[in-house]
Amino acid sequence: MSLICGSLSWLYKNTDSVGLLQENDCCDEKGETGLSGTEEPAWLASYEHSNISRHNEAIQSTIETALEPIRNIRQQSEETLSKNKRKVSQLSVHKQLESHGKRFKGDKTRCVRLSTDLSGRKNDDLVSSYNSDGSKRDDHCLAQPFGNAGAIGLGTENGKGVMKIFYCSRTHSQISQFVREMQKTVFGKQVRVVTLGSRKLLCIHPRVSKLNSDIAMMEGCLDLLRHVKKRTDPSSASSCAFYNPDALDEYKNYALAHLHDIEDLHQLGQELAVCPYYGTRQSLDLAQVVALPYTMILSAQTRESLGIDLKDNIIIFDEAHNILETVQDIHRAEIDSTNIVKTRRCLWRYLQKYESRLKGQNSYYINQLLAILERLGNFLRHIRKVIKGEPETSKSNIVERELERQLEGHSEVMHKMLRIGDFLCEADLDHFNLFKLIRYLDQSDLPKKLIGFVEKLQTSKNGGLPNDGSTAESDETELNSRHISPLRTLQSFLQALINNSIDGRILVKITDVPFKNISSLQYLLLNPSHHFEDIVKEARAVIFAGGTMQPVQHLFDQLLPSVPREKIDVFCCGHVIPPTNLMGLSLSTGPTRQILEFNYARRNSLELFDELGRILFNFSKIVPGGIVVFFPSYKLEATIVNRWRDTAQYQNLEKQKKIFREPKRTDESDRILKQYSDVCKSKEILGHSHCNSGAILLSVVGGKMSEGINFSDELARCVVMVGLPYPNAADPELLEKMAYLDTKRSGEGRKYYETLCMKAVNQSIGRAIRHISDYASIVLLDQRYENHLIRCQLPEWIQKRMLPAIQVSQSFGKAYSNLVQFYSSHRKRTR
């Protein structure tokens, strides 16, 4: 709510009635002309100012005209609104159905009755003529039918256009919550908001929406749009009845007239029989607030395809504690041996069939792609032969020597990191022009053409009979395989190879496990700042917000190294709860004075496991409601629970509170969470008193329970962090990242390692205390929490409420006494 009120207050204070930035705020430090420290004649300045004023007036007039239908919709009654929506639906769909000779039956499932066959394509799978010099992409507009101002003709030069706030979050549920909270403010009835989402969430086409892969849905959608663009019969089964430019403009008006979350926008598309995916993109030019997932704004390619213009706009990254990892994951690419074999086989068959008919340079580039696939396969086969000890004629290289060293350790998974340049030489790819090959894949539509070709191959293998759709499962499999091009994975991997060599690495991974001998090549991004620079340069301001952002120094060092420190403002605020509503403490010893240190050396200490059981048993006697316990890993949690079962500690603990364990499978988490919640909220559990009723939830740092789940009130009256959740120190990606950071500044790798641990701690313990009346205790179980360098990385609002380590950490009795008083005082208040 603070983000909403603060950002929208600034927006309305600094923009005019249509959303344009007011002229006195438009000028940057260099002035409107861009001249700095130079004089110009008064007549020239006056002339330029007049031109700018006329240009601004023209834009304002255009926007005023475009906003008129939106204002009219806002004034309509519910009855009129429904009637007009039906008219739009009739205009966008009925005519096409009538021309196709089908009668439309108006009901809630009318959208599911349209365009029921994607396989009725009449065109063949032959790529169009292609020449690398001066070539033009045939269907380059398919992926981006609208620019940022395509609908109303707004120019975006000099940043002119409706001022926007881009609100970005990790999940669509968080974005929907943001929109719902906005409805509660005074801005709710006037601000123009649109939420962008993937086809998976917005597509209403009955066949495309069934595809369970984003890539498959994109390919299927663009396949249909190609027929629309080529002006083939729009009512045919091979085109999309929901893609209509006039109807999309109507969708934009309805979408911006009121606040809608992603589910509302999908429903609006069904009501209007208009594509919500392209309808929301059509709404971008007039929107004042654009809500979207991280991935859509962090990828330059995605921004371009969506028509997102960041120039002089404001970007808010909410829940930004994992922004670095998100940038790295978005730009990760992987290809494995299975994919290489499959893609090469399909592409070779394609060339074999069409080689005599291919025009331009198609044959040349396809042969280049086949050569690259062959070399990638040879490279991985060579590595596998080294593992199996088979003789090789080629001389030993740096990869072979490293793998031979790992073989001595009998590792099942062997790996080696390579710089991009070294990998290209080792794989014999250094003489290929990857830039031209990527442009060819992007412009020739070969990946799409290969989809149809592969489908026909599969059909011929089945005796020439198409899938009869006898079962839902077989139909879904056929749909997905049809619309995923084998070339897409190769295209992504080649795109990664043209990145700056020092910014990333190639991880060669060889798995030597029976029945799972898959080799792979992964591109890992080590320097996320390179992909974030354009965002920082274009945007007026970038805001990183979150409740558990600390520590933040690594964010400056890795994401914003080119930004002067004086241009970065850090604002930390306290929690709304009174000081008496939170007690924080760390423990170095347990009830029997056993030292608490959950490190690798003591990973099998039975005495330590028993001491933890005794601590939780004592806590369960005084803590009302729920206790959430976070373990560093699933393995440690399972080991400790098994020990408790062997010693009857588990049974004794369950007599105090029912125990729930976080499952590894995320699809089971909701069920466990629901059961845990029901037990915690019940007033009387199996005849227990109020003090020891409730439950214990054994969770894992990095699992679903530690990310995005809010344990308010009785769901977490106590949060226990077991040990320090340091990431796996043997992880090759982590080691390479640390080594890379050490090249920037000595000791940075170790700092990054510590930061990853404390970020995980803060994210987990921050699940409790969700409102002003909430109360809980936070207990850190490990003697290393006494270290000032570790404690100072906790959130400030927790640090201020932590009991001094010298008072309680060495004495479980003193800590327990403080907890007894804490819960006793809150019981008295609630009576």
- pLDDT per residue over 217-229, tens digit each? 888 888 788 765 5
265 and 383 inside one domain: no
392 & 294 share domain: no
pLDDT score for 721: 96
| CATH number reported for the structural domain that contains residue 697 in this entry | 3.40.50.300
Same-domain status, 513 and 624: no
Residue 829 has pLDDT above 80, yes or no: no
The whole-angstrom separation of Cα 789 and Cα 158 is 47
Average pLDDT of every residue of the chain: 81
Domain edge (last residue) among 282, 304, 330: 330
Contact 219, 121 (CB under 8 A): no
Question: Pairing between strand 658-661 and 695-700?
Answer: parallel
Q: Count the alpha carbons within 13 Å of 204 in the hemisphere toward its beta carbon.
A: 28
Could you give the angle at which helices 262-272 and 172-183 cross, rounded to 10 degrees?
90
pLDDT tens digits along 295-325: 899 999 889 888 899 999 999 999 888 899 9
* Last residue in a domain, options 487, 504, 527: 527
Please, are residues 243 and 225 in contact by the beta-carbon 8 Å criterion?
yes
Query: Residue 387's closest CA among 423, 414, 364, 369?
Result: 414
User: Which of 527, 557, 587 delimits the end of a domain?
Assistant: 527
Q: Is residue 142 part of a domain?
A: no
Q: Considering the domain boundaries, does residue 11 fall inside one?
A: yes
Residue 546 falls inside a structural domain: no
What confidence score (pLDDT) does residue 464 get? 43
pLDDT for res 477: 41
Q: Percent of the chain at pLDDT above 90? A: 44
Amino acid 43: pLDDT = 78
At 30, the pLDDT band (50, 70, 90 cuts) reads very low
Strand order in the sheet with 658-661: 582-587, 776-781, 718-722, 626-631, 695-700, 658-661
Query: Which has the minimum average pLDDT: 239-248, 478-487, 541-550, 651-660?
Result: 478-487
Handedness of CA 748, 749, 754, 758 (dihedral sign): positive
What pLDDT, on the 0 to 100 scale, is given for residue 687?
Answer: 41
- Which H, E and C letters describe 38-84, residue by residue? CCCCHHHHHHHHHHHHHHHHHHHHHHHHHHHHHHHHHCCCHHHHHHH
Which of these ranges, 123-132, 500-509, 815-824, has the smallest mean pLDDT?
A: 123-132
Q: Please name which of 822, 766, 772, 819 lies closest in space to residue 794, comparing C-alpha atoms.
A: 766
Residue bearing the bigger pLDDT, 19 or 807: 19
On whether both 324 and 341 belong to a single domain, the answer is no
Single out the residue of 270, 228, 278, 222 nearest to residue 248, CA to CA.
Answer: 278
What percent of the chain has pLDDT above 70? 80
Is 518 found in the same domain as 432? Answer: yes
pLDDT at 159: 47
In 667-706, DSSP assigns E strands to 695-700
Q: Which of 54-68, 115-129, 402-416, 700-714 has the lowest mean pLDDT?
A: 115-129
pLDDT tens digits, residue range 703-749?
888 876 788 889 999 999 999 999 998 899 999 999 999 999 999 99
In a domain, 36, yes or no: yes
Q: Alpha-carbon distance 142 to 223, whole Å?
A: 9
318, 174 Cβ separation under 8 angstroms: yes
The CA–CA distances, whole Å, from 472 to 68, 245, 478 equal 47, 33, 10
Q: Which one is predicted more confidently, 608 or 237?
A: 608
What separation, in Å, do the N-terminal and C-terminal C-alpha atoms of the chain show?
31
Residue 369 has pLDDT above 60, yes or no: yes
Arithmetic mean of pLDDT, 763-785: 89
> In this structure, is residue 223 part of a structural domain?
no
pLDDT reported for residue 244? 83
Q: Maximum CA pair distance of the chain?
A: 92
CATH number of domain containing 42: 3.40.50
Q: Is residue 541 part of a domain?
A: no
Q: Which domain holds residue 479?
A: 334-527
CB 819 within 8 A of CB 620: no
Report pLDDT digits (tens) over 335-360: 999 999 999 999 999 899 888 888 88
**pLDDT value, residue 693:** 77
Domain count, the chain: 3
Two structure tokens written together for 428: 């014999």
Q: Identify whether residues 296 and 345 lie together within a single domain.
A: no
Does the pLDDT of residue 100 top 80, yes or no?
Answer: no
Same domain for 281 and 371, yes or no, is no
Return the pLDDT at 160: 65
Residues 307, 377: one domain? no
Residue 559 lies in a domain: no
Dist. CA 305–CA 147, nearest whole Å: 8
What average pLDDT does the segment 474-486 reach?
Answer: 51
What residues contact residue 803 under an 8 Å CB cut-off, 6+ apart? 583, 584, 585, 815, 818
The token duo for 633 is: 């890993």
- Say what the pLDDT of residue 419 is: 92
Confidence of residue 688 (pLDDT cuts 50, 70, 90): very low
**380 in the same domain as 300:** no
Q: Is residue 404 part of a domain?
A: yes
The residue-averaged pLDDT of 63-83 equals: 88
- 301 with 357, same domain: the answer is no
One-letter amino acid for residue 470 of the chain: S
**DSSP for residue 22:** P
Instruction: Identify whether residues 733 and 745 lie together within a single domain.
Output: yes
CB 449 within 8 A of CB 126: yes
Tens digit of pLDDT for each residue in 605-652?
A: 999 999 999 999 999 999 999 999 999 999 999 999 999 999 999 999
In a 10 Å sphere around its CB, with 0-12 CB exposed, 13-18 middle and 19+ buried, how is residue 35 labelled?
exposed
Q: Is the pLDDT of residue 26 over 70?
A: no
Mark whether 347 and 318 lie in a shared domain: no
